[in-house]
Each structure stands twice: as structure tokens, then as C-alpha cells.
Chains A and B, each alone.
Chain A
Amino acid sequence: MIGLRNRPRAADAASEAADCALAASGDTRAFERLYRKHVARIHSLARRMIGGDMADEVTQDVFVRAWEKLGTFRGTATFGTWLYRLAINLILGRRAVLGRERERLSEGDGILDRMSYPERSPELGIDFEAAVGRLPNGARHVFVLHDVEGFKHHEIAELLGVTAGTSKAQLHRARMFLRRHLER
């Protein structure tokens, strides 16, 4: 499973497969190359999903976990896909530790319902990414996974442990909120 965005090109996939194999044999320099290649995507995912204050820590955890699990990487998917899935699982697992995800999703409904969609005004001209960060957790996760990363609702439902209907509803609410924060 991978979002439609960020699918690697064939040449990139071949290159990262070679580095992955070297890293699996203990070559930290090859692993550093994989880190350099993927850190922006993983860090951005972490920042959008879990917040900027924890993004550095989570990103480091993802790569340390990847190093530890490289022996289980069979190459049936690209390393990028494998790493990305590992990152999502770790991020969602972290959220599960910090709180009860299902309840947060339910709470998210209420929070967004209570948040009146703001009218446009100069002071609302905040950065779009910052506005995404102000979404309740459930809506933010669905929005990031669907609209930023390209996952389908049934995939998101599987990842988050919710129904596809909940995913659709969260996405719509997130979009309705964010439409007022588009840069003009």
C-alpha cells in the first residue's frame, strides 16, 4: 500500500534497492544515503501527522527502527514504500500511546462541528500547512493521508481502524475548514 503520490521512478527504485541491500549487510554509509534520500518525506509526514514538536524525534525513531528491521525487508516493495509504511505504523502507534485514536476521531467530529467555518479575513491568511496542523487529530490524519499522500479511503480506514464512511466524513470536514485558509 502506498499513496499515489511519491511513487518512485524506476531508476530511483533500483538505486535505493542497492543501498538497502548494502545497509542490510551493515553498511551505515549506504543507510545514510537512504536517510538523506527519504528524510524530507518522512519528516514532513511526521510533522503533518503528529506535529512539529515531535517530528524530529519520530523521524529518528523511524530510521532507527528501519535499521533494526532491514533484515526483514524482502524487496517485494521498494525500500521507500517499506519505509513509508513503517513510518505510518510508528506514527499511528505513537498516537495510540498518547491517546485513544478512536475517541480522538469521534471527538474530532465534534470539534469541527463546533468550529464555525471562518469567513475570510486578513488575519486568517496563515500558512496552509499551519492550518492543517490546527485540524483535530482525526481529521488531520485523514486529510494528510488522503489529500497529501494519496491514500484511498479504504486504505485509510484500514490504517486508522475506522470505517471508510468515517474517513470520508473527516476528509470533507477538514476540507471545509481548510478552504478558508487557502493562500490568495
Chain B
Amino acid sequence: MGDTWEQLLSEYLDGELSAVDRCEVEAHLADCTECRVTLEELRAVARRAAALENQAPERDLWIGIVQQIAATGSAEPGIVDIGERRAGRRGRITVSLPQLVAAGIVLVMLSAGSTLLLQPGGSEPVMQSEAALSQAAAVQAVRVGFDVTEYDAVIADLELALDQGRDRLDPNTVRVLEQSLATIDRAMLDAYEALEQDPTNSYLSAHLAATMKRKVELLQRAATIARAAS
């Protein structure tokens, strides 16, 4: 085996050679046992490398990362962790695929209901594909970031304002509003229950936060309409 041939073996192994060079190497391999052995060894090295397993560090580095984030002042207020808010009732049960699908359907209905009600100047729903609605819900879910701790107080104020102006709203609007709010409440209840079983599920956390925000927005819009009609 000469150096010239040996140098070409890795490129031959990786399919990097031109057709002409590949034919020449193959012709040489047919006559050179040493090169054939070397080629198999190189192949074994490449296979061994590809099979290397990733290993986590021996110590947990997360605490150090959090400390550095805090030290650099780059930490930002995050979405309230619902699981933490409801501390003490954590469990860990896997949420089934049907549950997630059902949650997705509820969110699509929810989005459709909100779209219907929030159409300015009319009650005709805007037709959107489920994919678009899901995408919109997902986009909104990740942009939530409102203060969930004030949620109950905000909702109470808005519901009071709406009750005071309910008589001034169009009956169709009231009906759609109530249907949408009922759908939202069911979706939130389902999300709460799912999160109790799987508090670290990011999808559920995001969906719940987005749903809470959507309820606030819905009530705000309805209250505004009621005030405007007075």
C-alpha cells in the first residue's frame, strides 16, 4: 500500500472521489489486501464515531446558568407558571394524545367564537382554516405574558361592567358572548385539570395562559361595546 492510495481511502469511503478516481481505487483495492484491511478499519472508525452517545455533564449546570442570567440582568418576568401557582397538587401523569387533540379542538372552537364576536360591525364569522386558527392561537399563546395573578380581579371587574350594560347589547351578541365564555371556561377547566396531572407540559401552560388572556380580551371588547351603546 503506497501513501498515494492510502490518502485516497477516506475520500473513497465518504464518496468524495470523482468517478475516475473511484474506479482507480477500486481496481487497486482488488489487488491490495493491505488497503482493503485499512479501508475496513477506517470504515469501523467512522461507524464508531457515528455511534458515540451524548452524555449529560456529571453535575447539573442549570443552577450556574440561572445565576449567570440573573447576574447579567437579562432575566425577564415570565409567564406565571400555572403549575407553581397551584403548588401542592402536583402529580405526574402523561396526557394522552386524544386529550391533546381534544384540547386543540376546543382551542379552535374558542378561536372561532372569539373571531365571530370580535368582528367589528357585524356578526358574520370570518372563515378561517383550522390550521390558521391553530397557528393564530399558538402565536398568541406565546405572546401572552400578562399578569395571571391579577386575573381574577380583572375578570370580576369586567363581568360586573358587562352585567351593567348587558341590556344594551344586541341579543345575538349576548348569545354569542355567552357561548364563547362558556367554551372558554370549559377550555380553562380542562387545561387546569390536565396541568394538575402534567404541570410541566409547556403546551398546556401556553394554551391555558392564552385562553385566560382571550377571556379578558373578550370581556373587555364586550364591555366596551356595552358602554358605547349606553
Contact B203 A18 (CB under 8 A): yes
Contact flag A67-B61 (CB < 8 Å), given A25-B143, A128-B48: no
Shortest CB–CB separation between residue A58 and chain B, in angstroms?
10
Contact A56 B200 (CB under 8 A): no
A159 interfacial by beta-carbon distance below 8 Å: no
A35 interfacial by beta-carbon distance below 8 Å: yes
Contact B55 A43 (CB under 8 A): yes
Contact B42 A27 (CB under 8 A): no
Contacts of A9 in B (CB 8 A): none
Q: Which of A26, A64, A153 has a CB less than 8 Å from the CB of B78?
A: A26
A129 interfacial by beta-carbon distance below 8 Å: yes
Contact B61 A59 (CB under 8 A): yes
Please report the C-alpha to C-alpha distance between residue A174 and residue B45 in the assembled complex, in whole angstroms: 9
Contact B69 A27 (CB under 8 A): no
| B window 120-150: CB within 8 A of A | 138, 141-145
| B window 31-55: CB within 8 A of A | 38, 41-42, 44-46, 48-50, 52-55
Q: Which of B55, B84, B206 has a CB less than 8 Å from the CB of A44?
A: B55
Give B9's nearest chain A residue, CB to CB: A172
Q: Which of B38, B57, B144 has a CB less than 8 Å from the CB of A59?
A: B57
C-beta contact mask, A149-179 vs B, less than 8 Å → 1, else 0? 0100100000000000000110110011011
B179 interfacial by beta-carbon distance below 8 Å: no
Please report the C-alpha to C-alpha distance between residue A39 and residue B74 in the assembled complex, in whole angstroms: 20
Contact A22 B65 (CB under 8 A): no
Contact flag A168-B11 (CB < 8 Å), given A30-B202, A68-B72, A179-B42: yes
Q: Which of B52, B66, B141 has a CB less than 8 Å from the CB of A28?
A: B66
Shortest CB–CB separation between residue B213 and chain A, in angstroms?
12
Contacts of B66 in A (CB 8 A): 28, 32
Contact A33 B45 (CB under 8 A): no
Q: Chain B interface: which size bin?
A: 35 or more
Contact flag A55-B57 (CB < 8 Å), given A179-B41, A179-B44, A179-B45: yes
Shortest CB–CB separation between residue B81 and chain A, in angstroms?
5
Interface size on A, residues (CB 8 A): 50
Please report the C-alpha to C-alpha distance between residue A80 and residue B78 in the assembled complex, in whole angstroms: 22
Contact B142 A21 (CB under 8 A): yes
Please report the C-alpha to C-alpha distance between residue A153 and residue B17 in the assembled complex, in whole angstroms: 13
B88 interfacial by beta-carbon distance below 8 Å: no
Contact B57 A27 (CB under 8 A): no
| B window 169-219: CB within 8 A of A | 200, 202-203, 205-206
Give B64's nearest chain A residue, CB to CB: A60
A7 interfacial by beta-carbon distance below 8 Å: no
Contact B79 A27 (CB under 8 A): yes
Contact A32 B202 (CB under 8 A): no
Give A16's nearest chain B residue, CB to CB: B202
Give A4's nearest chain B residue, CB to CB: B50
Contact A148 B61 (CB under 8 A): no
B75 interfacial by beta-carbon distance below 8 Å: yes
A-B contacts, 19 of them at CB < 8 A, read A18-B142, A22-B78, A26-B79, A27-B79, A29-B81, A32-B62, A33-B200, A33-B202, A43-B61, A64-B65, A147-B49, A148-B50, A169-B7, A175-B42, A176-B38, A179-B38, A179-B42, A182-B41, A183-B48
19 additional A-B pairs beyond A60-B65, A64-B68, A143-B49, beta carbons within 8 Å, are A22-B79, A24-B142, A26-B79, A27-B81, A28-B78, A39-B57, A40-B56, A41-B54, A43-B61, A44-B52, A56-B61, A59-B57, A68-B74, A144-B49, A169-B7, A172-B7, A172-B11, A176-B42, A182-B44
Nearest 4 Cβ contacts at the A-B interface: A21-B142, A26-B76, A147-B49, A26-B78
